[in-house]
Structure 1
């Protein structure tokens, strides 16, 4: 159980970051443009997209809003079987 929780702790931020990056590119936004929209700096957004930092749910919600997404859309492709 402990190793599974550790995997979740490292895998979920990466998967969320990948989804944010995918939707950002679909909207044809640069990291700088999205960062300005959500009130963060580009480096922080880069770290979110790479899964280096673990943004809280409010930050994720703000990013989803800026990308004109429902939270469920952002998490849609993150399924239990994606967590390795």
Structure 2
């Protein structure tokens, strides 16, 4: 059961990362530019977009602000 839950979490994190990447590309912003805008390093954005980290609510707020979108827009279609 735990394995299935972990797979679902991994899938959600990958989907979240892909959504953030999609929004970033629509805005024509590089990972480095987004990172600089929110005071993070490019590797942090890379890990987020790859679904390797589970971002906090505050990190998502920073990402949304850096992209000029709402958290709701990031979470659409989940």
TM-score (norm 1): 0.84
* Matched residues, number: 78
**What residue in structure 1 maps to residue 41 of structure 2?**
41
**What residue in structure 1 maps to residue 75 of structure 2?**
75
Q: How far apart are residue 77 of structure 1 and its match?
A: 2.0
**What residue in structure 1 maps to residue 22 of structure 2?**
22
Aligned Cα root-mean-square deviation (Å)? 1.2
**What residue in structure 2 maps to residue 82 of structure 1?**
none
Distance in 2 between residues matched to 1:32 and 1:49, nearest whole Å: 13
Which stretch of the first structure deviates more once superposed, 7-16 or 42-51? 7-16
Distance in 1 between residues matched to 2:77 and 2:39, nearest whole Å: 26
Structure 1 alignment gaps of length 5 or more = 79-84
Deviations 1:27-83 (A, max 9, x none): 0000000000111100110010001111111101110111111111101022xxxxx
Structure 2 alignment gaps of length 5 or more = none
